[in-house]
Every structure is written in C-alpha cells, then in structure tokens.
C-alpha cells in the first residue's frame, strides 16, 4: 500500500487465513437485504413526518429527492440516518419537515416500476426533530451468496472463527469511490483544487479511511489487531470513548476477551495520536510510505482533530444456512459505520455482480 490507490477489500490482509470460498454477491437486489435498526423511539408529534420505507432499485439520494418532490419541500428538509445502495432491498427511515401542514397522501408516494423499482411505506408517524445522520443503532443484514465454490466444512469453520473472534474493522471499498477515485481526488484537493462542500466531506473521509486501513492492515499482519500491544489506546464497545494507554492487567484481558473493549487505530487529524509506545510506532511506520505524509498533512490542514476507531468488529447474531447446494445465506447485525463487505472478505473472494455490471 505504497501508492495512492485504495486497495479493494479482498486485497487487504485477512485475519483468519487463506480464502475458503469464492462466490457471487448481488446477482439480484434481493441477495443483499439491509434493515436499519432504529436508534430512538419517535415522539409521536412534531413538525417532521417520520417514514420507514422499503426500497429496491434506488439509492438513498434518489428517494430523498422523490420525497421532496412528493411533499413539495426543499430537499434540505429531508433527513435520513444512513446511505443505502441502489442494488439492494433496504428498509430505512426518512424525515420530512412539514411545519403547520398535514401529511400528504401516502398512497401517492409508492412506486412499483416496470424495471423492478419498488418504494413502499411500512410505517409513518410524527417526530419533533429532523432525522440526523448516524441516528441508528446499527444495521441488520441478510446476504445470499450464489455460485459458492469451496469446502462446506472449511466455510463453516471460518464462520465459527468469525463469530468467536470477529473480523478486522476495515473501511469498505465503497468509502473510496469507483475505482478508488476519491483518494486521488483528495490528494488533488489537498494540492489546491477547489471542490464543493459535500464532495469535500467525502474526500476527507476517504483520506482518513485509507490511513486507518493501512494501520489496521499492519496490525493484522503482525497479529495484534484483536489483542493489543504496549501503548494501546482502548475503545469501549459501542461508543467512541477511548482510554489508556495503561499497563496490561488481568482486568484489561478479561474486558478484551468479552468484547467490552477493542484495540483502536487513528482517524487522522490535528494533535497527537492517543496511542504510545509500540502501538504508536506501528501507526507511524504504517503511514510513512507515500502518500501517507501528504494525506496526514491535508487532513491536519483541513482542521480535523485526532479521533480513534476500533480495530476489531464482531458481527452480532451471526447465523448461516445453505438454501441450495451452491448458495449460502448469512444473517448478522453490525454497528453504525461498519461494512458487511469486510465480513464477507474474511470468507474469500466475493464477486459483486452489481458492481461489475456498472463497469
């Protein structure tokens, strides 16, 4: 990782060893089902209409524009917690700012298109505030892999390892844009190229994510991604709270074993990383090769502050079944900001059919 290309998820080092299968994902949108887990209960009253929608064949931005047109409001009045892909079946919340107005007719919102597009309302209520980004407890996935090639016993052994130990918490390749172009665009932005406000946010995230993945890849290679090293900055599970470094102890070992805490890596910005000693040495060594210094300087110049992200990710409620001889269905839940594709990458070579069809 010594150039400005963001590696594909499958090219990052695996924690659990060689690939145990090859398979296709998203041969059809139904093969990738994701449902947001709500982060709060609606207030039941207020200026915002809160909708839970199921969609197929359209991304979140398209639905937001559709809602704005349907309700006759500016698109800035639409809120959503997270971005969901077009080539999937997804359930997610949206809010619409309707001060002093009744609800538009819900039946006129539905779409059932000739080419498979689907939009339907599952729930509607009122809420006091606009739905902000990140206002979800996580995502529930049901993924079907087709054309599976590999030894079933080895695949199930790998799945048990994932359930027991988790996986490296890489940022997925979708963070880096098509062909990893966001990373090159970030370097151009840091070199003085002007970009729009929204694009700037995406490019800063891509630069940060690339640096984090480089550190995590080094920790996977040396085997410390899920055990910690001297000088570790520890992250509390399910939060952004960080503590340490502190001397190794039986108490830390017990908390690490029950997934209450995780080793962490840097989300780069101004200031000194929270890590020290061996942990900091690994981080700086991993970021030394080009374009590491350019990305670090750009992020610092943009005013971002040092933050941390857990190196370890444990899929919750992981289950699997074999509906056909060459099909594998996986069910699991992930916290916000985690990627289902990094779980799949620990199994082997997964070909995203929908992504290839766009190339």
For the chain, the maximum distance between any two Cα atoms, rounded to a whole number of angstroms, is 62
Q: How far apart are CA 6 and CA 12, in angstroms?
A: 10
CATH architecture of the domain 40-134 equals 2-Layer Sandwich (3.30)
Both structure tokens of 156: 């199930």
Q: Are 94 and 38 in contact (CB under 8 A)?
A: no
89-133 pLDDT, tens digit per residue, is 999 999 999 999 999 999 999 998 877 899 999 999 999 999 999
Q: What is the mean pLDDT of residues 197-201?
A: 92
Q: How far apart are CA 13 and CA 19, in angstroms?
A: 11
Q: Is the peptide bond before 291 cis (omega within 30 degrees of 0)?
A: yes
Q: What is the mean pLDDT of the chain?
A: 94
Residues annotated as catalytic are 85
Instruction: Delimit the domains of the chain by residue range.
Output: 1-38+136-359, 40-134
Q: Give residue 10's pLDDT.
A: 62
Q: What is the mean pLDDT of residues 40-69?
A: 96
Both structure tokens of 97: 């700012």
What one-character DSSP code corresponds to residue 270? B
Q: How confident is the model at residue 177 (pLDDT cuts 50, 70, 90)?
A: confident
Query: Does the pLDDT value for residue 4 go beyond 60?
Result: no
Can 1-38+136-359 and 40-134 be said to share one CATH topology?
yes
Q: What is the mean pLDDT of residues 152-181?
A: 94
228-237 pLDDT, tens digit per residue, is 999 999 999 9
Both structure tokens of 330: 């996986």
Both structure tokens of 353: 């059919």
**What angle, 0 to 180 degrees and rounded to 10, lies between the N-to-C axes of helices 292-301 and 181-190?**
60
Q: What is the mean pLDDT of residues 186-199?
A: 94
147-159 pLDDT, tens digit per residue, is 999 999 999 999 9
Both structure tokens of 168: 């490296």
Q: How confident is the model at residue 6 (pLDDT cuts 50, 70, 90)?
A: low
Q: What is the mean pLDDT of residues 52-70?
A: 96
Please give the model's pTM, rounded to 2 decimal places: 0.93
Residues of the chain above pLDDT 90, percent: 89
Q: Give residue 179's pLDDT.
A: 80
CATH number listed for the domain at residues 1-38+136-359: 3.30.2350.20
Nearest Cα neighbor of 205 from 120, 124, 278, 307 is 307
């Amino acid at each position: 990782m010594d150039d400005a290309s963001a590696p594909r998820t499958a090219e990052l080092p695996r924690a659990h060893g060689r690939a145990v299968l090859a398979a296709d994902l998203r041969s059809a949108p139904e093969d990738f089902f994701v449902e947001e887990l709500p982060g709060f209960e609606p207030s039941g009253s207020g200026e915002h209409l809160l909708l839970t929608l199921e969609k197929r064949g359209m991304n979140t931005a398209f639905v937001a524009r559709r809602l704005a047109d349907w309700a006759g409001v500016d698109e800035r009045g639409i809120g959503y917690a997270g971005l969901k892909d077009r080539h999937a079946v997804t359930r997610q919340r949206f809010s619409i700012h309707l001060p002093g107005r009744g609800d538009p007719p819900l039946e006129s919102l539905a779409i059932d298109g000739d080419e498979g597009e689907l939009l339907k309302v599952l729930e509607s209520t009122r809420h006091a505030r606009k739905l902000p980004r990140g206002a979800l407890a996580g995502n529930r996935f049901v993924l079907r892999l087709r054309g599976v090639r590999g030894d079933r016993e080895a695949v199930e052994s790998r799945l048990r390892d994932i359930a027991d130990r988790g996986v490296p918490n890489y940022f997925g390749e979708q963070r880096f844009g098509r062909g990893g172009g966001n990373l090159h665009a970030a370097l151009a932005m840091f070199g003085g190229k002007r970009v729009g406000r929204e694009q700037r946010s995406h490019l800063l995230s891509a630069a940060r994510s690339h640096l984090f993945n480089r550190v995590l890849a080094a920790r996977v290679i040396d085997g410390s991604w899920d055990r910690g090293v001297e000088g570790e900055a520890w992250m509390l599970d399910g939060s952004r709270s960080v503590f340490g470094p502190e001397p190794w102890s039986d108490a830390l070992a017990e908390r690490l074993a029950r997934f209450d805490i995780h080793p962490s890596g840097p989300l780069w910005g101004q200031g000194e990383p929270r890590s020290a000693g061996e942990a900091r040495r690994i981080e700086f060594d991993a970021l030394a090769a080009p374009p590491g210094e350019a990305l670090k300087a750009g992020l610092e110049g943009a005013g971002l502050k040092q933050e941390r992200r857990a190196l370890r990710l444990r899929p919750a409620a992981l289950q699997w079944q074999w509906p056909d001889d060459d099909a594998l269905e996986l069910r699991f839940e992930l916290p916000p900001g985690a990627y289902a594709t990094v779980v799949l990458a620990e199994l082997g070579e997964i070909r995203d059919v929908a992504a290839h069809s766009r190339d």
